[in-house]
Structure 1
Amino acid sequence: MTRWHVEAVLIDMDGTLLDTEKVYLEASIAALNALGYRDGVVELCHAMIGIPGPDNEHTLRNHFGDNFPLVEVNRLFAEKTIEILQAGMPLKRGVIALLDAIEAAGLPKAIVTSSSRSTAAEHLRLARIDHRFDAILTRDDVTRAKPHPDLYLLAANRLQARAQACIAIEDSNPGVAAAHAAGAITLMVPDIVPPTAETRERCSAVLPDLNAVVDLLRRHQAFSMVRPIP
């Protein structure tokens, strides 16, 4: 198996490390249903997975019209999200094993998320893994968020790595598009929405969970080529 030269690992947050996409999906549907929106809501909410909040707000206004009660929907969404997360911030399967393996290899790692900086900080804190990253890049750090490559390019630069020598781990179609456009070695662990045919072509592998990601990286000897500390 071909050896991958890896200088850094860039990881999406929601749906990849944190099992929050299901939370967001449930909260979004509940908020819209509470205000009488039902037809096509599930499909619409699925289509917004992996997309930054402001872009989703634009999508909702376009879909439901200018009189759409965005403020009230956002309030209900926030309330439902808090209610669900009171039980704790769920991690995806294999998160700790992945982070341990990256650290054992001496590779830098960064969060690359479409969430805001405040949301990312709070959710990583709740999950008790906020201290395990060398950098946290959010939609607040760029003008164009995913599916554009800007966040991934900035993350690679922040870690002093070449984008094409970075492993990018994503769960969504827009996230894969962003990582691939940046030139990263892109791996997908699908969450709620399955990969499209185009997404599969952009990925070096589509895997069932993060434990499988660790196994694949070991087979490609990605953890045996530790980048010297500058």
Structure 2
Amino acid sequence: MKEVKAIIFDMDGVIFDTERVYLDIWSKVFEKYGYKITKEVYISVMGRGRKKVKEIFMKNFGENMPIEEMYMEKDAMLAKVIGNNEVPMKLGAYDLLKYLKENNYKVALATSARRNRVTKQIEAAEIESFFDAIVCGDDILESKPNPEIFIKAACNLEVDKEKCIVIEDSPAGIEAAYNANMIGIHVEDLKKADNDIKKYCYRSFKSLIEVGEFLKG
């Protein structure tokens, strides 16, 4: 841990309390089209890119699912919520980012979200200056658990991947960090630490406040 030079953050469910907002929006869209999404199905798509999410949804609900129309409605509803600045930061996120910057860590954001949404959220929260690199879903070909996004973030930071910590909430993200040969730290959001997450992560914490205490210690 003393060799760590960089911290790579996921965004949704780690820095912003987005996953609950997402689940609520998707639930409304699914209901409108005659479907019902469970928390378990939603957790299975957390952290994955749009293409993979569509594949998983159609596998669970059938090939005739009007996924393109449903995504358009979801995007519009989410854009309204973000435009109204209704997605709060996770407790401890700002203080942790500030601490890392003040203590000369390199910091990156690596998220499956599209860049236009990412830019809006981090600018509204006034945290864009904390990040030395930002890698979005638009910048990669393969989604988590493929390690591409984290490897690209480390390259942009010019830090060896073995000296990077990844902070993630999703099973796919934690597995991607493991596949990248990085130190994966899990922080609980919708998904509690189960055996699969524990298998791939270095440590699991209840909140970013606990993560901060661990890093400072």
Q: Determine the C-alpha separation between the residues in 1 that align with 2:159 and 2:80.
A: 40
Check 1:89–1:155 CA distance in 2 against 1; reply closer, same or farther (3 A cut): same
Q: Which residue of 1 aligns with 2:133?
A: 135
Equivalent residues of 1:52, 1:139 under 8 A apart: yes
Q: Determine the C-alpha separation between the residues in 2 that align with 1:25 and 1:84.
A: 13
Q: Which residue of 2 aligns with 1:159?
A: 157
Q: Which residue of 2 aligns with 1:95?
A: 93
Check 1:190–1:147 CA distance in 2 against 1; reply closer, same or farther (3 A cut): same
Matched, 1:81 2:78: yes
Deviates more, 1:61-70 or 1:157-166: 61-70
Q: Which residue of 2 aligns with 1:199?
A: 197
Q: Determine the C-alpha separation between the residues in 1 that align with 2:85 and 2:98.
A: 25
Amino acid at match of 2:198: R
Q: Which residue of 2 aligns with 1:113?
A: 111
Q: Determine the C-alpha separation between the residues in 2 that align with 1:42 and 1:199.
A: 17
SS in structure 1 at match of 2:134: strand
Amino acid at match of 1:134: D
Q: Which residue of 1 aligns with 2:170?
A: 172
Matched, 1:58 2:60: no
Q: Determine the C-alpha separation between the residues in 2 that align with 1:110 and 1:74.
A: 28
Alignment: residue pair count: 216
What per-residue deviation string (whole Å, max 9, x for no partner) do you get for residues 128-159 of structure 1?
21232111011222211211111111111111
Q: Determine the C-alpha separation between the residues in 1 that align with 2:5 and 2:75.
A: 38
Q: Determine the C-alpha separation between the residues in 2 that align with 1:166 and 1:45.
A: 28
How far off is 1:108 after superposition?
A: 1.1
Deviates more, 1:123-132 or 1:188-197: 123-132
Deviates more, 1:123-132 or 1:184-193: 123-132
Amino acid at match of 1:120: V
How far off is 1:114 after superposition?
A: 1.1
How far off is 1:83 after superposition?
A: 4.3
Q: Which residue of 2 aligns with 1:218?
A: 216
Check 1:99–1:142 CA distance in 2 against 1; reply closer, same or farther (3 A cut): same
What per-residue deviation string (whole Å, max 9, x for no partner) do you get for residues 164-201 of structure 1?
11111111110000111111111110110222302112
Deviates more, 1:75-84 or 1:159-168: 75-84
Taking the TM superposition and a 5 Å limit, the aligned residue runs for 1:37-52 are 37-38=35-36, 41-52=38-49
TM-score (normalised: structure 1)? 0.88
Amino acid at match of 2:179: A
Where do 4+ consecutive residues of structure 1 move more than 4 Å?
none
Equivalent residues of 1:32, 1:41 under 8 A apart: no
SS in structure 2 at match of 1:147: coil
Q: Determine the C-alpha separation between the residues in 2 that align with 1:43 and 1:187.
A: 22
Q: Which residue of 2 aligns with 1:15?
A: 13
SS in structure 1 at match of 2:185: strand
- Identity %, equivalent residues: 28
- Superposed CA RMSD in Å reads 1.6
Q: Which residue of 1 aligns with 2:25?
A: 27
Equivalent residues of 1:13, 1:113 under 8 A apart: yes
Amino acid at match of 1:146: K
Task: Structure 1 unaligned segments of length 5 or more: list them.
Answer: 220-230
Amino acid at match of 2:69: E
